[in-house]
Structure 1
Amino acid sequence: MVLGMIMMMSFGLVDTFFVSLLGTDPLAAISFTFPVTFTVISLNIGLGIGTSAIIGKLQGAGEKSESQHHATGAMILSVILVGVLAVAGYLAMDPIFRLLNATENLMPYIREYMSVWYVSSVFLSLPMVGNSVLRACGDTSMPSIIMATVGAINAALDPLFIFGFGPFPAMGIQGAAVATLIAWMVGASWIIYLLAVKRQLMLPRLLTIKEMKTSSMHILRIGLPAAGANMLTPIAGGVMTAVVASYGAEAVAAWGVGNRMESIASIVILSLSMSLPPLISQNVGANNYQRVEEAYKISVKFVLFWQLCVFILLWLLSDWIASAFANESEVETLIALFLVIVPLGYGMQGVVILTNSALNAMHRPMSALVLSVVRLFVFLVPCAYVGSLLFGLRGLFWGTVVANLMMAAISFICFKRALLAYRETQEGS
Structure 2
Amino acid sequence: MMMGIVSLMLFNLADIYFVAQLGTEPLAALGFTFPVTFSITSLAIGLGIGTSATLARLIGSGDHHKASSLSSDNLLSTALLTLGIALVCQLIIEPLFRAMGASEALLPYINTYMSVWFWGSVFLVVNMVGNSCMRASGDTKTPAKIMAFSSAMNMLLDPLLIFGWGPIPALGVQGAAIASVIAWGITFFLVLHILYHRRGLIILQPLHIQRIWQHWRSVMKIGLPAALSNMMTPVANGVLTALVATYGAEAVAAFGVGNRLESLSLLACLALSMTLPPFISQNFGAGQTERVIRAYRIAIRFALIWQTVLYIGLCLGAGSVAALFSDNLEVQEWIGIWILIVPVGFGFQAATFLTASSFNALHQPLRAMRISITRLFIFYVPLGWLGSHFFGLQGMFGGLVIANALTALTAWFWMRRHLKRLADQPA
State the match for 1:38 in structure 2: 38
Q: How far apart in 2 are the matches of 1:410 and 1:245?
A: 31
State the match for 2:242 in structure 1: 242
State the match for 1:81 in structure 2: 81
Offset of residue 174 of structure 1:
0.1
Offset of residue 292 of structure 1:
2.0
State the match for 1:139 in structure 2: 139
Contact 1:380–1:399, Cα closer than 8 Å, also in 2: yes
Counterpart mapping for 1:253-268 below 5 A: 253-268=253-268
State the match for 2:69 in structure 1: 69
151-160 or 64-73: bigger deviation: 64-73
Contact 1:280–1:358, Cα closer than 8 Å, also in 2: yes
Is 1:174 matched up with 2:174?
Answer: yes
| TM-score, normalised with respect to structure 2 | 0.96
State the match for 2:320 in structure 1: 320
73-82 or 6-15: bigger deviation: 73-82
SS of the residue 2:227 aligns to: helix
39-48 or 84-93: bigger deviation: 84-93
State the match for 1:398 in structure 2: 398
365-374 or 344-353: bigger deviation: 365-374
SS of the residue 1:32 aligns to: helix
Alpha-carbon displacement from aligned partner over 1:229-249 (angstroms, at most 9, x marks no partner): 100100000000011011000
Alpha-carbon displacement from aligned partner over 1:9-43 (angstroms, at most 9, x marks no partner): 11211000000000000000010000000000000
State the match for 1:298 in structure 2: 298
Q: How far apart in 2 are the matches of 1:227 and 1:221?
A: 11
Structure 2, unmatched stretches of 5+, are none
Contact 1:161–1:176, Cα closer than 8 Å, also in 2: yes
Contact 2:290–2:423, Cα closer than 8 Å, also in 1: no
Offset of residue 427 of structure 1:
6.8
Number of residue pairs the alignment of both structures matches: 427
Contact 1:384–1:397, Cα closer than 8 Å, also in 2: yes
Offset of residue 126 of structure 1:
1.5
Q: Which amino acid aligns with 2:408?
A: A
Q: Which amino acid aligns with 2:123?
A: F
Contact 1:75–1:130, Cα closer than 8 Å, also in 2: yes
139-148 or 19-28: bigger deviation: 139-148
Q: How far apart in 1 are the matches of 2:368 and 2:318?
A: 33
Offset of residue 192 of structure 1:
0.8
Alpha-carbon displacement from aligned partner over 1:52-85 (angstroms, at most 9, x marks no partner): 1112222222222222222223322321222222
State the match for 1:224 in structure 2: 224
SS of the residue 2:317 aligns to: helix
Q: 1:206 to 1:333 in 2, by over 3 A?
A: farther
Q: How far apart in 2 are the matches of 1:329 and 1:50?
A: 45
State the match for 2:116 in structure 1: 116
Q: How far apart in 2 are the matches of 1:200 and 1:206?
A: 17
Offset of residue 123 of structure 1:
0.3
Q: Which amino acid aligns with 1:6?
A: V
SS of the residue 2:25 aligns to: helix
State the match for 2:57 in structure 1: 57
Offset of residue 131 of structure 1:
1.2
State the match for 1:374 in structure 2: 374
Q: How far apart in 1 are the matches of 2:10 and 2:71?
A: 27
SS of the residue 2:223 aligns to: helix
SS of the residue 1:272 aligns to: helix
Q: How far apart in 1 are the matches of 2:286 and 2:210?
A: 34
Contact 1:67–1:202, Cα closer than 8 Å, also in 2: no
Q: 1:59 to 1:423 in 2, by over 3 A?
A: farther
State the match for 1:384 in structure 2: 384
Across the aligned residues of Structure 1 and Structure 2, the Cα RMSD in angstroms comes to 1.7
Contact 1:47–1:74, Cα closer than 8 Å, also in 2: no
State the match for 1:276 in structure 2: 276
SS of the residue 1:340 aligns to: helix
Offset of residue 206 of structure 1:
6.5
Contact 1:43–1:82, Cα closer than 8 Å, also in 2: no
Q: How far apart in 2 are the matches of 1:246 and 1:317?
A: 28
Q: How far apart in 2 are the matches of 1:352 and 1:205?
A: 43
Contact 1:371–1:411, Cα closer than 8 Å, also in 2: yes
Q: 1:92 to 1:332 in 2, by over 3 A?
A: same
Q: Which amino acid aligns with 2:12?
A: G
Structure 1, unmatched stretches of 5+, are none
Q: Which amino acid aligns with 1:319?
A: G
State the match for 1:127 in structure 2: 127
| TM-score, normalised with respect to structure 1 | 0.96
